[in-house]
Amino acid sequence: MKVGILQFPGTNCEYDTQYAFEMLGCSTEIIWHQETTIADSIDLLVIAGGFSYGDYLRSGAIARFSPIMQAVQEYAAAGKKILGICNGFQVLTESHLLPGALKRNESLHFISQHHHLKVASTNNDFLHKMPTDAVVNIPIAHHDGNFYIDPQSLQELYNNDQVLLHYCDAHGNPVNPNGSVDSIAGICNKEKTVFGLMPHPERAMETILGSDDGRMMLEGLVAN
Amino acid sequence: MKAIVNISLKAGVLDSQGKAVHHALDALKFDGVNDVRVGKQIVLQLDESDAATAKEHVTQMCEALLANTVIEDYEIEIIS
């Protein structure tokens, strides 16, 4: 299985992401934003975390118009799988490949810490290996992770089983670190092919670094 | 021709920065402030000399890039 990892000016998680997927037995390719095509051999496209274009204007807003993004739109339209982590999630909402928007954290602070998450839906290719209601410990590191969606679109997310993860405490009780609607940490599109989350599973691959819960999450995408 | 674009969070979308500024004004004993909203202003210098055409162009810019209409409203002022 081959994983393509997008790299914009300001992306800084591409090598962690590469390390994580290679650990799971994948071959990888870093794809610079000036490229205009995504090779047919790419089975999964990951938009890695960081601060594309310095987060100027809005996080992900400028990256959306990079040359590679037309190919990303076509890749998504073809029903191929895309995972957006942190800034990647922001790029996906700005590109309208995922609904909603990521606002400034309610506290206005950059939050960098391990955080527990509760799995809301396993009926998708990303989290299908995890038990429903599983609680995992995954780092978050963001300034603009406050997920907003209007009430009607939120209801559609729930109706279509598109809410993937909620922030919670170690016992699975809801906790809201950043002001997100319903403490939502990750969602997918209606077709369940495009996934976005603010937490960083690629930083939770080894217990020596605090948690290897991210492994089980990323393995879900690798198994398909 | 100059265009001034004011972008702010939509009514109903919580403006945390506005709230923080409001608290700070309260702490400084500036009374009588009912609400604070923080936005951003983008100033564009344009070649266009027709105000209506300029406004149309800038509207397209706002819809495409300058504002995220999921959470933000924008106002355009054209100055000759």
ipTM for the predicted complex comes to 0.85
3-state secondary structure of A188: strand
Q: Are A24 and A218 in contact (CB under 8 A)?
A: yes
Q: Are A124 and A186 in contact (CB under 8 A)?
A: no
- Who contacts A59 (Cβ-Cβ below 8 Å, separation ≥6)? A51, A52, A87, A90, A94, A102, A143, A144
Separation in Å, CA A100 to CA A112, A150, A189: 23, 8, 11
Active site residue A13: no
Whose tokens are 């506290």? That residue is A107
pLDDT digits (tens, 9 = 90+) for A107-151: 999 999 999 999 999 999 999 999 988 999 999 999 999 999 999
The CATH number of the domain where B38 resides is what?
3.30.1280.10
Report how far apart the first and last C-alpha atoms of chain A are (Å, whole number).
9
What does pTM read for this prediction?
0.94
The domain spans of chain A are: 2-223
Q: What domain count does chain B have?
A: 1
B71 touches chain A (CB under 8 A): yes
CATH superfamily of A2-223: Class I glutamine amidotransferase (GATase) domain (3.40.50.880)
Active site residue A202: yes
- Amino acid letter, residue A163: V
B62 touches chain A (CB under 8 A): no
B20 touches chain A (CB under 8 A): yes
User: Shortest CA distance to A89 belongs to which of A130, A65, A113, A60?
Assistant: A60
Choosing from A86, A94, A116, A188, the catalytic residue is: A86
Q: What is the pLDDT of residue A224?
A: 55
Q: How many CA atoms lie within 13 A of B30 on its CB side?
A: 10
Active site residue A33: no
- Who contacts B27 (Cβ-Cβ below 8 Å, separation ≥6)? none
Separation in Å, CA A162 to CA A166, A185, A190, A191, A197: 12, 12, 6, 9, 12
pLDDT digits (tens, 9 = 90+) for A157-213: 999 999 999 999 999 999 999 999 999 999 999 999 999 999 999 999 999 999 999
